[in-house]
Structure 1
């Protein structure tokens, strides 16, 4: 297998599906939700509130905090590790009782956890966990990344072969995140067993649609013979569909994407994305906050929670199970399911 990583660009439902009360997302740094009441405050510190995914995680945190009678505040780290640590210091100084962290990178969580331990502030992770050597946290609510990597890899390998070759390209989230490493490990395992060639992995830096369009064009220009794209994040799936359409390649190159949004769900409905492996943005924020609520009440908690990622396809999108699963991905206010 020939895999190249371009460093210059480095950047489901669970067994019981729950309906989450919807509320507007607070995304400004240090913006307090004055509608909640209670003596305790949950702070959400995100990698970047400019990405829809983190806005929906934030809403999950806010919803659960409200149910627990807690106040809510969110901070935007703008993909900056120094800003992330400053946000945590600010949150603690402002009286946060607990923190839900969606870190800029896995390694960047270390100083946050050290500070939180010093101040006796419990921390839970949403979507992105810390490095394996870090233990001083309540819970890491992530997706089942490696298993999904295997399943997504197998799907796109089979789809690529049906389109005439075994060559697949990948648009990846930054590989300094433990979830990205697990996705890639699972995909590589699948490609090795199923006989596909992962010709290039291009990492995102800021996870925006505009950046992803450029990366998809770069991938197809460098490797015009690929017949499958493994899109490790939602914007990469959207961008790949757009670029394939512009190049007249929609029927020649398959796409398997991760996450889920009104845009990618619509693309699945239209057959422009062949498979979407759903990641619970709302659910991760909700469950990470639930674990903090237990910790604050001195109840038992679960340190590792890996939520399954069901595969959404044009054939199963309207089944009740998948429609229920989508309600833990993004709020109905964001768009149709």
Structure 2
């Protein structure tokens, strides 16, 4: 081989080696952890599906941990995740009020954080993104809808089955609902907050509403199990259709109830979509791409008449995964 050929070969090898090194640097495999408040609730399972699906698409390792609705367990999970070397966190917090110490800890370790479903406490800024529903706007829209439903049935009395009010999303829902219910000329006669987000609890609370206020003609639900429980209570009392029900979220169960005329309105919340978008946001933060701090996803109203439209069907696929049930 001539001297010139040897020099060219060496130069090519150097360029090739440099290219491999650059490619290896660009191909760093990140690890993401999803901190769920509880994996006993289907909603948070569906967020997990979204996080895991998007993580796999982006070539990220996926870890999930449940906080069992305990702020201290949530904090311990964050510490464990950092010890395990995670690069990013997606979290559905136990409550908004539980987030300040967790955010301080993760900021100290320079780990990007994206919230799903429930945002941080007011005034907190040490996070990359908060991917939630447009809770206030949905509260307004659902309040207007349920007030109209009550008046169609001959009363302006409305009851509510609420999420815990230590969550910023629930506070926004309630603010919007109160404003629009009042503006519509209706009376929100009682608000009952859930403690466990179970159908059995919602059945009991709906019965309590109906016993204390037999003149109500509509029930505003803030979460999926609220509508399921309320529908069970109405069916037992022979009141299906005579008292209207609307709720946020959406599931195979409430979609069937909507089709059967047992509830009148669903405001679809993208559990899977929130997981997907939150994962994308922390990945963007890790890779120097643009990050959106506040990302409120619309919750459109769906009724029996619109459930089978192409737009609604596309939306539902971002609410829950195929494994959860039919669309």
TM-score (norm 1): 0.88
Find the counterpart in structure 1 of residue 60 from structure 2.
Answer: 70
Q: CA deviation at 1:184?
A: 0.4
Give the Cα–Cα distance (whole angstroms) in 2 for the partners of residues 65 and 197 of structure 1.
46
Write out aligned runs for 1:248-327 (5 A). Answer: 248-327=238-317
Q: Which moved more, 1:202-211 or 1:288-297?
A: 202-211
Counterpart check, 1:168 vs 2:158: yes
Find the counterpart in structure 1 of residue 73 from structure 2.
Answer: 83
Q: Which has the larger radius of gyration?
A: 2
Q: CA deviation at 1:178?
A: 0.5
CA contact (8 A) 1:102 1:125 kept: yes
Which runs of 4 or more aligned residues in structure 1 lie more than 4 Å from their structure 2 counterparts after TM superposition? none
Q: Deviations over 1:75-103 (max 9, x none)?
A: 11111111111111111111111000100
Find the counterpart in structure 2 of residue 219 from structure 1.
Answer: 209
Q: CA deviation at 1:214?
A: 1.6
Give the Cα–Cα distance (whole angstroms) in 1 for the partners of residues 292 and 190 of structure 2.
37
CA contact (8 A) 1:38 1:70 kept: no
CA contact (8 A) 2:116 2:275 kept: yes
Give the Cα–Cα distance (whole angstroms) in 2 for the partners of residues 94 and 303 of structure 1.
26
Q: CA deviation at 1:38?
A: 6.5
Q: Deviations over 1:157-212 (max 9, x none)?
A: 00001111100000000001000000000001101111000001100112111222
CA contact (8 A) 2:241 2:261 kept: no
2:101 aligned residue (106, 111, 114): 111
SS at match of 2:131: strand
Counterpart check, 1:334 vs 2:292: no
SS at match of 1:205: coil
Find the counterpart in structure 1 of residue 113 from structure 2.
Answer: 123
2:198 aligned residue (189, 208, 216): 208
Give the Cα–Cα distance (whole angstroms) in 1 for the partners of residues 143 and 185 of structure 2.
11
Give the Cα–Cα distance (whole angstroms) in 2 for the partners of residues 330 and 129 of structure 1.
20
| Root mean square deviation of aligned Cα | 1.0
Q: CA deviation at 1:251?
A: 2.1
Q: CA deviation at 1:132?
A: 2.0
> What are structure 2's unaligned runs of at least 5 residues?
1-26
CA contact (8 A) 2:67 2:94 kept: yes
SS at match of 1:107: helix
Give the Cα–Cα distance (whole angstroms) in 2 for the partners of residues 209 and 107 of structure 1.
25
Cα distance 1:329–1:38, how it changes in 2: closer, same or farther (>3 A)?
farther
CA contact (8 A) 1:38 1:69 kept: no
Find the counterpart in structure 2 of residue 199 from structure 1.
Answer: 189
Q: Which moved more, 1:211-220 or 1:260-269?
A: 211-220
CA contact (8 A) 2:37 2:66 kept: yes
Give the Cα–Cα distance (whole angstroms) in 1 for the partners of residues 28 and 99 of structure 2.
28
TM-score (norm 2): 0.91
SS at match of 1:184: helix
SS at match of 1:293: helix
Find the counterpart in structure 1 of residue 144 from structure 2.
Answer: 154
CA contact (8 A) 1:100 1:288 kept: yes
Find the counterpart in structure 2 of residue 101 from structure 1.
Answer: 91
Give the Cα–Cα distance (whole angstroms) in 2 for the partners of residues 213 and 99 of structure 1.
35
Give the Cα–Cα distance (whole angstroms) in 2 for the partners of residues 92 and 161 of structure 1.
54
